[in-house]
A and B are shown apart, each in its own frame.
Chain A
Amino acid sequence: MIEINNLNKSFGNKLVLNSINIQFEHGKVYGIVGENGAGKTTLFRCIAGLEDFEGEIQSTKSPLKNHLGLLFTDPFFFPKLTGKEYIQLLCNAREIELGDIESRNVFDLPLNQYASTYSTGMKKKLAITAILLQENNYFILDEPFNGVDIQSNIIITEIIHKLKELEKIVLISSHIFSTLSATCDEIHLLKDGQIIRSVEKPEFEILENEMKEIVLENRIDRLGLK
């Protein structure tokens, strides 16, 4: 379990996360949604321990960061480092002995090529492969479906289902609601640094419609399309 109590985070005078209280349980997939700048990435960085914060974050496996696979929206790759070496680097960091990487290359990536030359989607798939091979218990996937082809989307969705089956905790952020509906058990709506709504699977459609109403208002009419 990951338990967040009274989490506050400010950058200067700007309060980015405001009194976040939330629990994540094993064997469940959680979606975090919100506009750009709502605080999703900051929340993920706090959970990962990459930011100082006020409040408390506790986990059954401690320290949390040592059991966490973190996928950023735009993962960083060194120039002149191959896909295989990237995976080796991340697994060495976690002291995981890697066997045959090729047989676990589920996205059929060209692992002997420099990762920096990969396309956006391939980079994301490589980063996902690396954190999966790290044998983590917790996963934070920030926009895992962005830039990824349809076949890989299906594979990633199945991987998330498998992680749930294996009793892992998975947090996903995505701007594509359908991907969250297909994978999540709960969705939390973050606005201005606060969780303003939390819904379970049966209510996803209601949340999606509410969000549509909030987001759209009369914007399309204002375009005056003829």
Chain B
Amino acid sequence: MLNNLIINPNTGIFSNQTNNLKSYFSIQIKIAARKFLDFGVHPILGVLLILVGFIAFSEYLFHQISFAANLIAFVSLTFTSALSAQKRNDFLQLCFPEKRYKSVRTIENTLAALPFVIFLVYKQNLLVAVVLLFISFTFAWSNFRTNFNFTLPTPFYKKPFEFIVGFRKTILLLIGACFIEFIALSVNNFNLGIFALAIVFLIVLTFYTQPENEIFVWNFIVSPAKFLITKIKIALIFSSLLSLPFVATLVAFYPEKYGIILAAWLIGFMLIITVILAKYAAYPSEMNLPEGIVIALGLSFPPLLLIFAPYFYFKAIQKLKLYLP
């Protein structure tokens, strides 16, 4: 009896409907649609934007890197492995009988891997596509349960929390960026090296995209301006620490292009400052479409950041006054 329980999509409570796969996936679509709407984007437009971004990014990788197919497969597996997280699987096993649970997980993983598989097939990397599909299926039948209790040390322990949390969450991506940098230098591809540096900055930007619980702002005893300046100062010092090895090796290998390297570094710092200010300009809500558009504009034409940053700064000061009077 218990094994037939499923959440009713309308009431949110358990019922014993048997045709429950459809209900489950319709809930997932609703949740995704709500996330897009919260971000201020119509769900169809959001899906289209992600699709265009995915194709553009993948094409770029195929132009720049010889092992792009493997990299795309790795990215795909990162998504599917997230679906094997222990808590959500425990919950799904409570909701569905064993057979149906396996079906749900297989469908989920297939859907998550499908865009990547299609792109790999389109790029005639059939072997990688088949292996990716196989591993995705395997992940569907596994539940990442671990009693492994390891705390990853970071060089940022004195100043919690953004870089400590972010570093631990994205360590694999950071290692990936190091690997790309290594490949760039070994195949003498300067653009790829700059791309690796850009990845580091994009990773750092993700540390600042989510608003923290209000208690972690409220606890500070400084003015909003001092709060923002401290946040920016820590971000600049720690992002320098993360990006310095990339910049140093690029300058060492391409000393004649030091101007471009330093410009890329500077733009990275400007972006971090703008995103921090944009985060608190929207606080306590998440950054949504207006902030996203402004940041995207800044990315496409960096001098605009010099205008956007002060705009966000004054807005952030107003928002923070409630917590730091």
Seen from chain A, the residues whose Cβ lies within 8 Å of a Cβ on chain B are: 48-50, 52, 63, 65-66, 70, 72, 75-76, 78-82, 85-86, 88-90, 92-95, 112-114, 117, 134
Chain A residue numbers with a CB within 8 Å of B220 are 93-94
B164: Cβ under 8 A from any A Cβ: yes
Distance in angstroms from B161 CB to nearest chain A CB is: 5
A113 in contact with B219 given A49-B325, A85-B161, A88-B158 (CB within 8 Å): no
Report yes or no: A88 in contact with B160, Cβ–Cβ below 8 A.
yes
From residue 167 to 226 of chain B, which have CB atoms closer than 8 A to chain A?
A: 168-169, 212-216, 218-221
A81 touches B164 (CB 8 A): yes
Complex interface: chain A residues within 8 A of B164 (CB): 80-81, 85
Partner of B165, one of A70, A72, A78, A117: A78
Interface residues on B, range: 20 to 34
- Are B160's CB and A85's CB within 8 A? yes
Instruction: State the CA gap A113–B323 with chains docked (Å).
Output: 30
Task: Knowing A79-B165, A80-B164, A113-B151 are in contact, say whether A92-B159 is a contact too (CB < 8 A).
Answer: yes
- Cα of A34 to Cα of B325 in the assembled complex, Å: 30
Smallest CB-CB separation from B162: which chain A residue? A78
A-B contact pairs, 21 of them (CB 8 A): A48-B218, A49-B218, A49-B325, A52-B322, A63-B325, A70-B218, A78-B161, A78-B165, A81-B160, A81-B161, A82-B151, A85-B164, A89-B216, A90-B219, A93-B216, A93-B220, A93-B221, A94-B219, A95-B221, A114-B151, A134-B219
Q: For the complex, what is the distance from the CA of A85 to the CA of B216, rounded to whole Å?
A: 13
The reply on B122 being an interface residue by CB < 8 A is no
Given A80-B152, A134-B219; 19 other pairs, CB 8 A cutoff: A49-B218, A49-B325, A50-B218, A52-B322, A66-B221, A70-B215, A76-B213, A78-B161, A78-B212, A79-B169, A80-B164, A80-B168, A81-B161, A81-B165, A89-B160, A90-B219, A93-B216, A112-B151, A113-B149
Nearest Cβ on chain A to B45's Cβ, whole angstroms: 31
State the Cβ distance, B261 to closest chain A Cβ, in Å.
31
Looking across the interface, which residue of chain B has its beta carbon closest to that of A87?
A: B160
Residue B157 CB within 8 A of the other chain: yes
Set of chain B residues within 8 Å of A66, measured between Cβ atoms: 221
In the complex, residue of chain B having the shortest beta-carbon distance to the beta carbon of A65: B218
| Candidates B149, B159, B165, B218; contact of A80 at CB < 8 Å | B165
